[in-house]
Amino acid sequence: MLKSWQIEEFGEEQKGILMIVWLENRTIIGKKMNRGIYAIIVIGESLSGEKNLVLILEIIRICGKNIIGENKKMHYVVSDIHNDYQKFCELLKMIEFSKEDKLFILGDLFDRSDYNPNPVDLYFKVMELEDTCSMIRGNHDEWLAAYILKFYQMPEWKRRKIEPYQYNTFRCLTRRLVEVDVQNLAKKILTWPLQLSVQVNNEKYLLAHAMTSKPERTENKYYYLMGNEMNAEYLCNGVEDYTSICGHRNTVNYKIWKNEKGNLIMCDGYENGFGDEVINMIVQEMENHKDNVIVIFAGYPKPMQQFLDRNPGMRSRIAFCVEFDDYSVEELCEITKLMLSRKQMTITEAGMKKLKKNFESIKDSRDYGNGRFARKMLEEAEMNLAERICQMDETEITTEVLTTIEESDIPDVPLEERRKIRKIGFAC
C-alpha cells in the first residue's frame, strides 16, 4: 500500500521540504499540496500512539529519503512542541536526522504540556543541534522569557508576591537550573528570529509562528507571534512570491490547512484549538478577580469533566458542582403540554401516547437531549400538521384542526432520518 501511494503521489524529480503530520491518537498524511512539499510534522501538547509514529516514519523512509536520496539534504519543519522532550527525541531518532539535514522549529517550544513536561532537556537538545536547527520565536516562548526577566529583576522579597507563571514551565526550569542559567535561557529566546526566509531548490519559503510578511517589511513583533486584525486577508492571499508555513493556529478536524492560492500552509493540528488558551486566561482572571466575579460553567457531565481536567488550576477554583438529573418521561410530557399551551395548541390522547412512547425509546440513547428533544419533537409535529392541512379541503379547516396535534403528526424516532428538506412558500 505504501509503495503504490509512493508511486502515485511522489516522483523522483520532486525535491523540497519534507514535512509530516503527527497527531494525537491518529495519523493524517497529507497528499502533495504544493511542488516540493509532501506533508507536515505537527507535535502537539500531548502526543501518544506509537503505532501512528511508526507509520509516519515508515512513510518518511519510503516516500522521503528513498526518493530524494539518502545523501540529499532534507529540510524538516516542526511546530508547537510544547515541552514534549521525549517525543521530540523519538522523532529525531526515527527520521534519522543527520548533520546534513536541516530542522526548522516554528515556535512554541515551551509551555502547555501537562504530560511529562521537560523544558530543560528539550532546550538543551535543541541547542545541541546547533546549526542543523533553526528556532523561530513563538508567543509562548516570548511570554516565558518576559516572565523570567521580570521575575529576576525584582528584589527577592517582592518575588513571593508576583503572580505565578500560568504554565508549569517556569517551575520546571527553576527546579533544575540555577538563576543565571534560567536568565540566560530567557535571553537566548529573545534572540530567536520572528521570521525566517528560506530557499530550497529555487522555491522561496517564509517561516513564522503565526503570520509572515515580506522580508523587506517591518511588522510589530506580535504580528509574527500571534497575528493581527489582517488575519482574514492573510489567510486568503498569503505573501506574494513566497510559500508561507506557520503553526500557532489550530486547524479544523486535525488536518493541514492551505489557502486556495496554495501559498499558505497552517500546520498546528492540535485537537483543542484555542480552547486551552481561553481556559488559561479564564483561570488567571478568576484568580485576579476572585472577590468580585462569579464564573458559571455549564455542559454535559463527561465533557465538563474533560474541561476541568484541561488545566490543573481549574478544578481547585470551582467551589460548587451541581449535576442536574435528566427529566423523566412524565416530566417531558408535561413540558410538551406547557409548550403547546403557550402556543394555544392541544394534542390528542393518541398523539400524547405516541409522544410518550418516543420519549421512552430515546431516553437512554446518545440522541437524548431532555427538554431540547421534546421541543424538536413538537417542532417536527407542527411541520407535519402544516403539511397535513395543506392537503385538506378548505371547508374542513377549522380553528380546532389548525391547533390540534394528532397521532399522525408525531414523528417517529430518530428525527434525523425522517427530516426532509422543506420549501417555504404558499399553499394554493
What is the model's pLDDT at position 196? 95
**Beta bridge mates, 104:** 77, 134
Cα gap 318→419, rounded to integer Å:
41
Grid cell in block for residue 91: 522523532
Task: Tell me the three cell numbers of residue 311.
Answer: 488545566
Q: Are 113 and 82 in contact (CB under 8 A)?
A: yes
Grid coordinates given for 145: 522569557
In a 3-state reduction of DSSP, which class is residue 196?
strand
CATH number of 329-418: 1.10.8.60
Containing 250, the helix (H) or strand (E) segment is strand 243-250
pLDDT at 37 (0 to 100): 34
**Distances 303 to 43, 54, 224, 299 between C-alpha atoms, Å:** 24, 31, 33, 7
Domain range annotation of the chain: 2-273, 278-317, 329-418
Distance CA 14, CA 201 (A): 10
Judge whether 238 and 13 are in contact, CB under 8 Å: no
Q: Are the CB atoms for 144 and 165 separated by under 8 Å?
A: yes
Which CA distances in Å does 140 have to 122, 244, 277?
15, 21, 10
- Dihedral of CA atoms 30, 34, 35, 38 in degrees, nearest 10, equals -20
C-alpha span between 307 and 314 (Å, rounded): 9
Largest alpha-carbon pair distance within the chain?
A: 92
**Residue 338: predicted pLDDT:** 92
Return the pLDDT at 163. Answer: 84
Mean pLDDT over each residue of the chain, to the nearest integer: 76
| Class for the domain spanning 2-273 | alpha beta
Residue 314, C-alpha cell as written in the block: 481549574
Is residue 108 a contact partner of residue 140, using CB atoms and an 8 Å limit?
A: yes
Residue 187 is predicted with a pLDDT of 96
Q: Which residues of the chain have pLDDT under 70?
A: 1-72, 114-115, 251-255, 269-281, 310-313, 364-369, 414-428
Which pLDDT belongs to residue 32?
A: 36
pTM score of the predicted model: 0.52
User: Residue 328: its pLDDT value, please?
Assistant: 87
Letter for the amino acid at 341?
Answer: S
